[in-house]
Amino acid sequence: MVYQRSSQLFVDAEKVIPGGVNSPVRAFKAVGGTPIFVKSAKGAYLYDEDGNKLIDYINSWGPMILGHAYQPVVDAVIEKAKLGTSFGMPTEIETQIAALAVSMVPNIDKIRFVNSGTEACMSAVRLARGFTKKDKIIKFAGCYHGHSDSFLIQAGSGAITFGSPNSPGVTAGTAKDTLLARYNDLENVTTLIKANKNEIAAIIVEPVAGNMGCIPPNKGFLEGLRQLCTDNNILLIFDEVMTGFRLAKGGVQELFNIKADIVCFGKVIGGGLPVGAFAARKEIMNYLAPLGPVYQAGTLSGNPLAMAAGLTMLQALDNEPSIFKRLEEKTAYLAAGIDKVLKANNVVFTINRIGSMVSVHFAAEPVVDFQSAAKGDNETFKKFFHGLLSEGIYIAPSAYETWFITDALSYEDLDLTIQAVDKVSKTF
Ligand SMILES: *Cc1c(COP(=O)(O)O)cnc(C)c1O
């Protein structure tokens, strides 16, 4: 395939946008080469600026669960836009999507809409701190909760009592309130809680991790976190920005029957427009301004176009719950097919999958946390990525990402993908 126009557009972009992109992972740094510029997309396919057609396994990093340019969402946005695009005043559609979300997700009474997953997680932590009157939080290495300061943290020299910044610009003062634990390691969490008795406001976790590849929780891990939180007056925050409205109507809380105290959303809930949200039972949500003392706000929060897209998306998922089963079946089919051809070609690999999330790791050992994910062979991944791309298949340009399966993918698309994996892996 030719990427002449994309390459030129990237050169132009680099002059006026840092690194040519508005979000770093788009820049292909982890795999080499230059990013592909998209012109349009429909259903399961991307069409780039050079006229190439690609089968898409990123799907805007999750939101397009029903495929690109899903007609009801497009129509809803167009109709809404005709009525004005932003008012900074309440609109009825905000209540409609809130009521629908509250009916679909267990254990939440109220929900507040923001503009991104980052904002949702940042606000959830502030709310948890205000509500519990404690300062520290625990997060897990390899879990991503957006780019706000409290989350850009690595284990510090005193890892048991404080974290340290992993980006310049994050202050040591902020970092000292974030503790880092190992995913799927309850003992580690217990140790941190003991060493910081009565100081921890919240544990924030991706209940199914999706930002170090797809890593499902070990049996008992989420149950254990729930118990530790209950026993120590800590709020359990499920960051379901990726998993919410994807793994089930009610997300991971429903899937594993575990109750979180605060839940964060993003991605699918916006139907492809910039939306995030956080939700909880009323005692907690009533702590937010203007009812309560914890401040949180947004000029474009609850934007009518975004709400129209989100509402239409949630309605589609609510009206046809069989979508989740169908997505799971397609994903299982794809994973089984890839498993078969990689084995036949003697590749060292591990596939993780749950529902419509799947990731291929070029690692021999089970991938259960950040450390094991990092053992994957990145050179093989680069060959895999570029090989698939030349076959017209677009996966995330980083070994630490999940593939997102959409309902728009046909079994023919999946077969083409499996054949491409077979062809590419023969060249490893
Ligand atoms: C994508 C993501 C975020 C951040 O959402 P943005 O909309 O990119 O700010 C937070 N948490 C998880 C689990 C995510 O996957």
Tell me: the pLDDT tens digits for 33-66? 999 999 999 999 999 999 999 999 999 999 999 9
CB 406 near ligand 1, within 6 Å: no
Ligand 1 mean position, distance from CA 118 (Å): 6
Tell me: the pLDDT tens digits for 250-294? 999 999 999 999 999 999 999 999 999 999 999 999 999 999 999
Ligand 1 mean position, distance from CA 297 (Å): 19
Residues 6+ apart with CB under 8 A from 386: 31, 32, 33
Q: Is the pLDDT of residue 159 over 90?
A: no
Give residue 58's Cα distance to chain centre.
11
Residue 356 has what pLDDT? Answer: 98
Q: By alpha-carbon position, which residue is closest to atom 6 of ligand 1?
A: 117
CB 275 near ligand 1, within 6 Å: no
Q: Is the pLDDT of residue 2 over 90?
A: no
Q: Which residue has the tokens 């023919």?
A: 412
Residue 158 has what pLDDT? Answer: 81
Ligand 1 mean position, distance from CA 198 (Å): 29
What is the crossing angle of helices 71-81 and 304-319, to 10°? 150
Q: Is the pLDDT of residue 243 over 90?
A: yes
Q: Is the pLDDT of residue 126 over 90?
A: yes
Q: Is the pLDDT of residue 156 over 90?
A: no
Residue 284 has what pLDDT? Answer: 98
Is 309 within 8 Å of 270 (Cβ atoms)? yes
Q: Which atom of ligand 1 is nearest to the CA of 118?
A: 9
Residues classed as catalytic: 144, 239, 267
Q: Is the pLDDT of residue 26 over 90?
A: yes
Give residue 390's Cα distance to chain centre.
26
CB 211 near ligand 1, within 6 Å: yes
CB 114 near ligand 1, within 6 Å: no
Pocket probe mutation, ligand 1, options 59, 149, 205, 211, max atoms within 8 Å of Cβ: 211
Q: Which atom of ligand 1 is nearest to the CA of 266?
A: 7
Q: Is the pLDDT of residue 162 over 90?
A: no
Residue 161 has what pLDDT? Answer: 83
Residue 160 has what pLDDT? Answer: 84
Q: Which atom of ligand 1 is nearest to the CA of 211?
A: 15
Q: Is the pLDDT of residue 155 over 90?
A: no
**Average of pLDDT values for 156-169?**
87
Q: Which atom of ligand 1 is nearest to the CA of 23?
A: 8
Q: Is the pLDDT of residue 157 over 90?
A: no
